[in-house]
Amino acid sequence: MLTNQQPWTAPRAEHRLAGRVVVPGSKSQTNRALVLAALSDGPSVLDGALASRDSSLMSAGLRQLGADIQPIGPSSIRVVPGLARPVGPIECGLAGTVMRFLPVVAALVPGRTRFVGDEQASRRPIGPVLDGLGQLGVKVDSHRLPFSLDAPGRLGGPQVTIDSAASSQFISALLLASARFPQGIDLRHHGASLPSAPHIAMTCAMLADRGVTVVSDEPCHWVVRPGPIHALDDVIEPDLTNAAVFLAAALIVGGSVTVPSWPANSTQPGAQFVGIAERMGATVSYVDGSVTISAQGWQGLRPLDVDLHEVSELTPVVAATACLARGHSRIRGVAHIRGHETDRLAALEHELANLGVEIRRTSDGLDIAGHGADKLHGGKFGCHADHRMAHAGALLGLAIDGIELDDITCTSKTMPKFPQMWADLIQEV
């Protein structure tokens, strides 16, 4: 568990940017690929895999459940599948993918598995996944971390109905392992609108790449037949949601930021940030597999009204950028991010207001009355153990003196080298 907090003064940018940032691999793709490789019918090699706290926790949990996962290069790992009952508790940290994906894997191993996590993890919703496993015959003693799971000798099914309105990861969790269920799965979502649907599309595409067909002949309904998950050597794309914070720096400071190896077609929702940046006044160009965002700086920012229901992970970056635009901005469709690493709507309202931002929570997002960076002031900025909150604070520090983040170590969740990467970007001319 993370215990050593490290305060950090967000550096101010003194000149326009001319930066190039190599972004580490996608967390979403890395952790899905790890689960699929551990359940496959042979060894796999994953290139470009993310090395972070979340991915390390996923690898450690899968090792406890019987897989052999070994690094074979700077960003390459070899996975030999296997299933076994763990001898100790599985540590989830604050990682949503770990606390939601691994119980479904553990359900394939008869007997008891214990799951624990960070103190804040008990506030993250996981109940719908455990409810779905209960419909397959699995018993759990709690619907919050920590909990113990007792798997039967043979899972039932295939009909499962859950409410996944709080996170698309509940659907992905059940789909990833469903081909290994004796009867597959016939899965339905029953509830309010599904958030982050592109992440479910990512799961289905990665399953299809490994020979597993997900039939979805109507909205909110997925059917997977039992069968093998074929081993696949895979290349992980850069994390486009993590790329957003660096690209947004160009919007605030002016100049340009380039991210290489940008996929021409991607299932990552983070790819939508370039369109948001254009709406806020940026110019976007694609050259030789790289994307470049060029902008005038915060003085040229345009406010926007945007629905981030599909890409809610971008909310902190978009909110921080919108604070510096002159005019009224609105972020909609993200009520579910109250259950992310922290209640992100409450955290953003509190921390941004503390810097002088005129901001108000709504039922599904944020209203921001922007007056420019020169109307704001420095101060303490709480990260709430949330890497995306830290990204928001770092962005504001580019244009506002004296922003002090209470804990930069939370960025290790997806980018352990973030402070150095940020410093390198600002210093590059």
The binding site consists of: 27-28, 32, 96, 124, 167-169, 196, 313, 340, 344, 388, 413
- Angle, alpha carbons 229-235-239 (nearest 5°): 110
- In angstroms, the Cα distances linking 45 to 75, 86, 327 are 10, 24, 49
Q: What is the DSSP letter of 411?
A: G
User: In the chain, what is the straight-line distance between the N-terminal and C-terminal CA atoms, in Å?
Assistant: 38
**Which are the contacts of 9, defined by CB distance < 8 A and separation ≥ 6?**
397, 402, 403, 404, 405
CA distance 392 to 410: 13
Residue ranges of the annotated binding site for 3-phosphoshikimate are 27-28, 32, 167-169, 196, 313, 340
Task: Measure the CA–CA gap between 155 and 226, rounded to whole angstroms.
Answer: 12
Q: How far is CA 235 from CA 29, 65, 70, 238, in A?
A: 9, 24, 16, 10
In whole angstroms, give the CA distance from residue 315 to residue 354: 18
Cβ proximity of 246 and 425 under 8 Å: yes
Question: 51: closest CA among 19, 27, 70?
Answer: 27
Residue 353's nearest CA partner among 372, 376, 337 is 376
Token readout for 191 is 């509830």
What is the C-alpha to C-alpha distance for residues 107 and 342, in angstroms, rounded to an integer? 28
Is residue 313 part of the annotated active site? The answer reads: yes
HSE at residue 272, side-chain half, CA atoms within 13 A, is 18
> Are 381 and 404 within 8 A, CB to CB?
yes
Could you say which DSSP state residue 162 is in? E
Q: Which residues pair with 19 in a beta bridge?
A: 257
Active-site pick, 313, 341, 349, 351: 313
Burial status of residue 99 (CB atoms within 10 A of its CB: 0-12, 13-18, 19 or more):
buried
The two beta strands, 8-9 and 403-405, are antiparallel
152 in Cβ contact with 138 (< 8 Å): yes
Task: Spell out the residues 6+ positions from residue 128 whose beta carbon is closer than 8 angstroms to its own.
Answer: 162, 163, 164, 166, 167, 170
Edge-to-edge strand list for the sheet holding 76-80:
68-73, 76-80, 44-47, 234-235
Residues annotated as catalytic are 313
